[in-house]
Structures are given as structure tokens and as C-alpha cells.
A and B are shown apart, each in its own frame.
Chain A
Amino acid sequence: MQPWKIVYRIACGAVLVFLLLPILAVIPLSFSSSGFLSYPLPGLSLRWYETVLTSGRWLDAFINSLKIGLSATALALLLGTMASFGLARRRGFVVGAIKLLALTPMIVPIVMIAVALYFFLAPLQLTNSFAGMVIAHTVIAIPFVVIPVLAAVEQLDPNLARAAAACGARPLTAFFRVTLPSILPAVASGALFAFAASFDDVVIALFIAGPDQRTLPREMFSSLRETITPELTAVATIMMVFSTFLFMLMRYMQRRRRRLINVAAQGFVSA
């Protein structure tokens, strides 16, 4: 093997190790029988999982995260998809500026956005409220929708909507029956990443969320400050499994959708 090829493989391996190892290191700790976060494990136990699942604190936080995440995702999908249609295949200064603005939450440090949102939402009495959290998370989720959906819309055959209209479809029917299904894979991946952005967030939650909107990451953050026990790693492991499950689900549905269309098509004719 050529020497530089060896270097290349080592570099690739190093990237994977540095990405995965810190995350995976947490998992065994959650099964520790001791109250300290340290290796080697003195013994295996499920006591931390028992604590997490039986105490209302974590379940409430999980449900809060879910509610806020789903609402923010829905709102980001609606706004991001509409923005993508408005921005696609247009040039000019204003369009460029709006595109940049839509992507800003991804570029600007999250703390700045959190501070800005705090000062924006506070006079409107929206801090410490569910609506405030949803608005704030929608802001950070929108770029994750706009990036894939805008790309998909730009690649869409511009005559597709015209073909639907020529078939007699009114604009809304054409959108829901033809245009949207054609870009659905992009919308789905946008939705997943938008949800992940909200589900992961701790910084905005620290600024905006009130006692009733304690999200899972925020709860983890505050428990960090109180006492560090493997309870935290158990929550982290559960979160990881949940996120991985969501991602796999999306992959499965996309593949299944492709198959379903073929099956439905056959059923349509034989029926």
C-alpha cells in the first residue's frame, strides 16, 4: 500500500473514533452499580434506569421535549417549505438576503440567538411560556428544513405543476397531489433534522423555558449542577436510542414508501 493511503485510512479511522468514542463511553456508565461516574465499573445494575423511569421528573421533561419539538417541527415545516417555494429559481439581492437570513440561525452562535430571542420575547410576555419555546425552536429549526427542501424544489421540473393544472387540478390540489409528493423525501429529512435541533437544544431552553417547559436537555443540565450520578448517563443513553430509532424509522419509511407505491399501483389496476 502506498504510504499516503495508509495515512488517509488512519485519518478516517481517527475521525470515526473521535466522533463515536465519547458518545459510546457514556453507555456502560449508565449500567454501573456505583454512584460515581468512573471506570472501571464496580458492578452492573439497572438501578439508574429504574430511577429515571419511575421518577416523574424525567418523564415530564421527555413529554415536554416531545410537545415542543413536534410543534416547532410542524411550524418550521410550514414556514420553511413555503419559503423554499418563494425563493426557488429566483435571483437578485433581496432573494439572496432572505436566503442568508433564513440560514442565519445555523451560522450565528446559539448563545447569541438565545440572548436575542430572550430580549425579543420578554416584552411580549412570551418567555417562560410554551408558545415562546415553540417560537424559539422554530427559528433554529427552519434552516434544517430550508436547505433540503429548497434544493429539491430547485431540481423539480417546472412543468410538473403546469402539467397538473392542464389535467384540471386547481393550484392547491396540484400542490398536495403532485408537487408535495415529489419533494416528500426532502421534506421528511428536513422534519427529522428540525425535530433533532429542537430535541437537542439546551441553550435556548435555559433562557426561554419556564418551570413548566423543562425540556429533557435542560433537566439534564440542571442535574449536572446538582449531583452527578449515572442517572444522567441513563437518560443520555435513552435519548441516544430514541434519536437513532427516529433516524432508522425515517430510512425505513422512505424505502417502504417506494415499495408501497408499486404495490398500490398494482392494486389500482387489478381492483
Chain B
Amino acid sequence: MSFIEFDHIRKTYANNTLAAVENLNLGIAKGEFMTFLGPSGSGKTTTLMMLAGFEKPTSGSIHLEGTPIDALPPYERNMGVVFQSYSLFPHMSVAQNIAFPLEMRKVPKPQIQDRVAAALEKVRLGRHADRRPSQLSGGEQQRVALARALVFDPKLVLMDEPLSALDKNLREELQLEIRRLHRELGVTMVFVTHDQSEAMNLSDRVCVFNHGRVEQLDTPQQLYDRPANVFVAGFIGDNNMLVGDVDRVDASDEYARLTTLNGTTCRGRLRTTGTYPQSSTLCIRPERIDVAAAKGSLETDNKIGARLVDLIHQGDHWRLIAALETSGEGEALQWMAKVSPNRLPAGLSIGQPIQIGFNSRDSWVI
């Protein structure tokens, strides 16, 4: 049994027939950095709040080290919690804020001072001990909240979108800080975010939520390289998609041919062998796409005709927006390709016809 077990957790609210969390079964290992990732309303925060004890599951049970904690109130769960709104105590100084959990645990005074000083050092805020929260910047306030959540050596640290209120640079700086703290302290951390790059940066494993259900639970690399379904393929990183019918499967059961309504055909790798829905989606990452100006110069086994809609210089790569050629009616599907500067064909101009190519082994038919 894992360190933390969610066992058939279901959560409904009185004013909503749809469950906020539906049949959740999830294990979190000791020392792991686990991220709950999903769009707003996907159930990720509700799940975290149930773990913290602020919300009660409608049914099911949560276990910590093998014992159910459902009856335990939040103040007896021994978990550090960090909120998006910082939630520092405004009438206390930074040091008093950090000392508060130790006071609640009746730690002797001299010890409190040492541990507060050590915690402040850990988040590099030693100079600000006497300040009040309102005198600190957002990033500094969240460091104080972090120190307050860590100072009592909790079994578990929970973070509810802690960096969402900060600007981009500060966010990345604090991500590194949290990574370092996790590495140094070895404490189990559960982190909630709607930002997939944040989840990729921080996590050992990511649990992708959507509509109250877990879409996929995997390492960041697996989520990116082997998405379990179309939602994950579209939510993690960029993906180009093509919807069509699987009309031929290889003898090896590994590759399939997909034909769209307007007659475009592509070959892609089957994500699940054996069973697949008739109507499937082919996904291909923008950086796996090759582009050529003329027919025949592509070495990939899939080639699609398109028209160049836009060409954007992004420093380390070029971003191409291309409208796929369609024989039928309706709006053309737009794909995006990321091409490194040395592979960009010379003399491309917006509006001209181009060829898009990719290898079947780089794509997924889901």
C-alpha cells in the first residue's frame, strides 16, 4: 500500500448533480512530488482539500500510511498547506507566522527560535524575520508561507496553485526553489496547478484531471511521449490532430491507416493495440514535423499538402502555421510546426503551397 491512498473517493456538492470527483483511486509514494494537473473545475483542488481535511468525501476513504484519516480534523493531520492567496496571518511578523505551527505543537520557546531561524534560512528570508507580511512582495510572502508549512516537519506538504498569483519570472524562480526544497528535505509534496509546464518542471509524477476523473497518471516524460487519450495529448504540450476513421491495421497490429472525411490519409502508431475506436484521432507533435517547399523532397512516410499561413521567428526555432489541403468543403484544419533554423527551407513566403511530412513512428493514433 502506498504512503497515501485514495480509495474509491467520490465527492458531490448539494447544488450540483455532476460529481466534483468521481471514483478516484490514487496512490502517492513516500517522498514523491505528485502534481494534480487539470483545467479549472476538473476536481484537482477538491481532491487536495479532501486530503487536507477541509472537504469531506461523499463516499470512499483516504488512507495515510495504511490508516484511514477520514475522521481526522485538519488540525490533527500534520500536513503543511500552502494556498494561492498566501494566507499569512496579517497581524503577525514573518517570524511569528512561522513560529505559529510550533507554538500549536507546544514546542519549547528556545527551540522555536532556532527552528524558525533555520526555516527562514531555508527559504532565504533571514533578513525579513521582523517584517510584517504586508511589507513583503508576493514572491517573498509565498516563501514565508512555504517556511510556515515546512517548519514543523510535516508528513506531507500540500500546495494549492501556490505560484499562480506571481509573474512568470518569479514563478520559474520559485519552481526551482520548491524543487530544491523537495530534494533537500525529501518530504512528500502534493501540488495542484493548471499550468502544464509547471507540472512538467516540478513533478516526479503528474495526475491529469478532467471532469472529476483521472485521465492519466504518469511521469512527465510518459505524459508527453505516450499520452493515454486525446485530452492528455491536447493538454500536455502542443499537438496537431487529425480526426478520421481507422480503415486499415497492419498485420503487426502496431500501425494503422486513418482516413479523414475529406479523404486525407495518414499512417500512425496505434496507442493501444487490439482495440481502438472506429473514429480515432491522429496526434503529431509540432517538433516532429518536417516542412518542404516542393513535393518529393521529404523523406518521411506521411506527406500532406498544405498552404503556409504564417511564419514566426521564435529565436531557437521557427513556428509555421499551415492550413491542410482539403478536397471537401468546410474550413481548412490548421497545423503548427516547430522547425529548427537549419532545417527551414529557404525562400518560404506566406500563402505559398508547402509539403508537411512526419513519420508514422512519431505519431499516435488514439
Query: Which of B75, B80, B85, B101 has the most A CB atoms < 10 Å from its CB?
Result: B75
Q: Which of A15-23, A78-86, A95-103, A259-267 contacts the other chain? A: A259-267
Which residue of A167, A174, A181 is within 8 Å of B91 (Cβ)? A181
What size tier do the contact residues of chain B reach? Answer: 35 or more
Residues of A within 8 A of B143 (CB): none
Q: Does the CB pair B87–A167 fall under 8 Å?
A: no
State whether the Cβ of A178 lies closer than 8 Å to any Cβ in chain B: yes
Q: Does the CB pair B95–A269 fall under 8 Å?
A: yes
Q: Does the CB pair B83–A165 fall under 8 Å?
A: no
Q: Does the CB pair A182–B89 fall under 8 Å?
A: yes
Q: Does the CB pair A265–B89 fall under 8 Å?
A: no
Residues of A within 8 A of B95 (CB): 265, 268-269
| Residues in B50-73 with C-beta less than 8 Å from chain A | 52-54, 73
Residues of A within 8 A of B73 (CB): 165
A153-190 toward B: CB 8 Å interface, digit per residue (1/0)?
Answer: 00001011011111111110110011001101000000
User: In the complex where A169-B75, A182-B90 touch, is A266 in contact with B130 (Cβ < 8 A)?
Assistant: yes
Q: Binding site of A, secondary structure by majority: helix, strand, loop or mixed?
A: helix
B111-138 toward A: CB 8 Å interface, digit per residue (1/0)?
Answer: 0010000000000000001111000000
CB distance from B138 to the nearest CB of A (A): 14
Q: Does the CB pair A169–B130 fall under 8 Å?
A: no
Q: CA–CA, A265 to B95, complex, Å?
A: 7
CB distance from B144 to the nearest CB of A (A): 11
Q: CA–CA, A271 to B158, complex, Å?
A: 32
Number of A-B contacts (CB under 8 A): 94
Q: Does the CB pair A166–B96 fall under 8 Å?
A: no
Q: Does the CB pair A162–B74 fall under 8 Å?
A: yes
Q: CA–CA, A157 to B88, complex, Å?
A: 10
Which residue of A160, A164, A182, A265 is within 8 Å of B96 (Cβ)? A265
Q: Does the CB pair A269–B100 fall under 8 Å?
A: no
Q: Does the CB pair B129–A269 fall under 8 Å?
A: yes
| Residues in A100-141 with C-beta less than 8 Å from chain B | none
Q: Does the CB pair A157–B81 fall under 8 Å?
A: no
Which residue of A168, A170, A178 is within 8 Å of B89 (Cβ)? A178
Q: Does the CB pair A157–B85 fall under 8 Å?
A: yes
Beyond known contacts A166-B75, A181-B89, A265-B129: 4 more, CB 8 A cutoff: A157-B85, A166-B149, A170-B75, A268-B95
Q: List 6 A-B contacts (CB under 8 A).
A: A165-B53, A166-B81, A167-B148, A168-B104, A261-B92, A271-B113
Interface residues, chain A, CB within 8 Å of chain B? 157, 159-160, 162-171, 173-174, 177-178, 181-182, 184, 261-262, 264-266, 268-269, 271
